[in-house]
A and B are shown apart, each in its own frame.
Chain A
Amino acid sequence: MIHETFAATNAVVTLDVALPDIFWGWYVTMNMWAKSIGTGLIFMLFLLHRKNSSEMSGLRTPAIIVSFVMMNIFLLFTLADLHQPFRMWHIFFYPHWTSAITVGAWMATIFVGLEFVMMAMMIRKDKCLLTKNATASFDKLLFWVTLLAIPVTLYTAGIMAEATARELWQMPTESVQMLLAATLSGSAAIILLGGSKLSAETKNFFASILGLSALLAFILYMSEYIFGSMKAEEVTATLAYIKGDGEYATMFWIGQWVAYILPMILVALYRVSKSNSILTLAAILAIAGLWVVKHVWLVIPQLLPMS
């Protein structure tokens, strides 16, 4: 439609001062990436607890610490991205509940608070004032934290859905992508953290989650890439930035290869060879590539002129 219009009218903008600008840049990418790892680790810890809790003995403390650190990185970048960071408290004192930003800020704060309690229990096991059996309490709390991790990881998809101007970010696709980002990065992180503490069977289990998450996320991106343009003019124009010689085409494919395609291949190789190095490499690539994938998808709709 666009090209037909051009040919018929030869319309060229000769004055429009409000040029498109990237308002949500790499700070927001950091936010989504760190949150995926933080919540994903909790999901994996819960799965490990259900599958084989005896293997959790050396993993509770490092996993909760890494998750807590990643969630704090997420909060730090969220705060830093505000143009008025010292007014962050307005979210808690003047909350507007139709906004996914508000709901997310509250849930993430509670989530991080609970993680802090879990971390404190594990670090100060002997002197823990809260409970005499820190490990059992940790495991009980893990269930509720896992439940909370679901909306915490999903709420960014809610924000993207509320961004009416950006046609590319559709619900429920973004929700599924957020969950897959969490399972991909969470499984990768626990593989790296677990190392030799994990049995071969458990490693296989997490490798399967890593591979399947990569496959499903890749399918979703490719579906959008191939078929997205067939429904909406704005999506066509947005996807042009990652097609052909588009501004973000190279970065898009680097992300797809590093986050999804290579980890999928490496997981398949690991299942044949049982080489831990291959699995470690798959995990590192998945975590690094996820940042690139998220960044491209965040930026390209912002390049489109709105007026």
Chain B
Amino acid sequence: MQLGFLVDLHLCMGCKGCEIACKVENEVPLSTWRLRVKYVDVGTFPETKRTFTPLRCNHCENAPCERICPVSALHYIDNGIVNIDKERCIGCAGCVMACPYGAIYIDPETQTADKCTYCAHRIASSMMPACVVACPVGANIFGDLEDPKSNISIYIQEARGDVQVRKPEKGTNPHHFYTGAGNVHLNPLASQRIEGYNLFNKITHLPLGGHHE
């Protein structure tokens, strides 16, 4: 079994229901996110469009976080999920430095690394991840990539060429796919970050991992 995610960006409307469901399900602390939806505004007024991209751990086949973790706190489980053992983590932040997707953070409460686990605890009880259940438009498709009859496999087959991953050049072989994605969705360097352009400005950030700047 190899579990994977596909996000249909044609359907996603940026409601952040998945983000909130994840926060609640996994008790994710303030200022940190296992799953978040990035907004990028494209075009010049009045010809503008807002794009939405849910971002979470890619559960890579060749996961840099797993490789760099000195104590195997990050490890593969049988269904292909890259899981984390917070009791074992020493908080070296090697995984934070290694993840090309910025999906790992230091939990300010436990002072250990944390990230999306595809809700491994729910899957163990034969439930879908919280974000899948919460999505009002079914944009999150989750299932076994090795089963050709699973929803995700059928979706990938039907989408044909329109299936992409983030940063394929890194050689991580993510198990997280997107359809309907453009460069602006997937490439962090394809959009500007301008002070004052955020929907929420003057945000106060709690001190997270960078405790020795």
Instruction: Show the binding face of A for B, using Cβ within 8 Å.
Output: 2, 5-6, 9-28, 80-85, 87-88, 90-91, 94-96, 98-102, 105, 159, 162-166, 233-234, 237, 302, 304-307
A-B contact pairs, 23 of them (CB 8 A): A5-B183, A9-B184, A10-B42, A11-B190, A12-B197, A13-B39, A13-B191, A15-B39, A17-B36, A22-B213, A23-B209, A25-B213, A83-B93, A85-B90, A88-B90, A90-B88, A99-B69, A101-B94, A162-B67, A163-B94, A234-B189, A305-B193, A307-B101
Partner of A102, one of B36, B70, B96, B197: B70
Judge whether B100 is part of the interface by a CB distance below 8 angstroms: yes
In the assembled complex, which residues on chain B have CB atoms less than 8 Å from the CB atom of A25? 210-213
- Contacts A18-B102, A82-B91; A162 near B112 (Cβ below 8 A): no
Question: Cβ of B205 and Cβ of A19 under 8 Å apart?
Answer: yes
Question: Cβ of A16 and Cβ of B38 under 8 Å apart?
Answer: yes
The 10 A-B residue pairs with the shortest CB-CB distance in the complex, in nearest-first order:
A83-B91, A306-B102, A11-B191, A164-B64, A15-B39, A101-B70, A83-B111, A25-B212, A163-B97, A84-B91
Instruction: Show the binding face of B for A, using Cβ within 8 Å.
Output: 33, 36-44, 50, 55, 64, 66-72, 88-94, 96-103, 105-106, 111-112, 170, 172, 183-184, 188-194, 197-200, 203, 205, 208-213
Question: Cβ of B210 and Cβ of A159 under 8 Å apart?
Answer: no
In the assembled complex, which residues on chain B have CB atoms less than 8 Å from the CB atom of A304? 188
- Contacts A9-B42, A27-B212, A81-B212; A99 near B67 (Cβ below 8 A): yes
Partner of A165, one of B64, B112, B197: B64
Question: Cβ of A91 and Cβ of B90 under 8 Å apart?
Answer: yes
Q: How far is the CA of A101 from the CA of B91 in the complex (A)?
A: 12
Question: Cβ of A90 and Cβ of B71 under 8 Å apart?
Answer: yes
* B213 nearest CB across to chain A (Å): 4
Question: Cβ of B210 and Cβ of A95 under 8 Å apart?
Answer: no
Q: How far is the CA of A163 from the CA of B92 in the complex (A)?
A: 12
Question: Cβ of B188 and Cβ of A164 under 8 Å apart?
Answer: no
Q: How far is the CA of A213 from the CA of B78 in the complex (A)?
A: 49
Q: How far is the CA of A80 from the CA of B93 in the complex (A)?
A: 12
Question: Cβ of A16 and Cβ of B189 under 8 Å apart?
Answer: no
Partner of B41, one of A12, A17, A105: A12
Question: Cβ of B192 and Cβ of A13 under 8 Å apart?
Answer: yes
Partner of A9, one of B99, B190, B200: B190
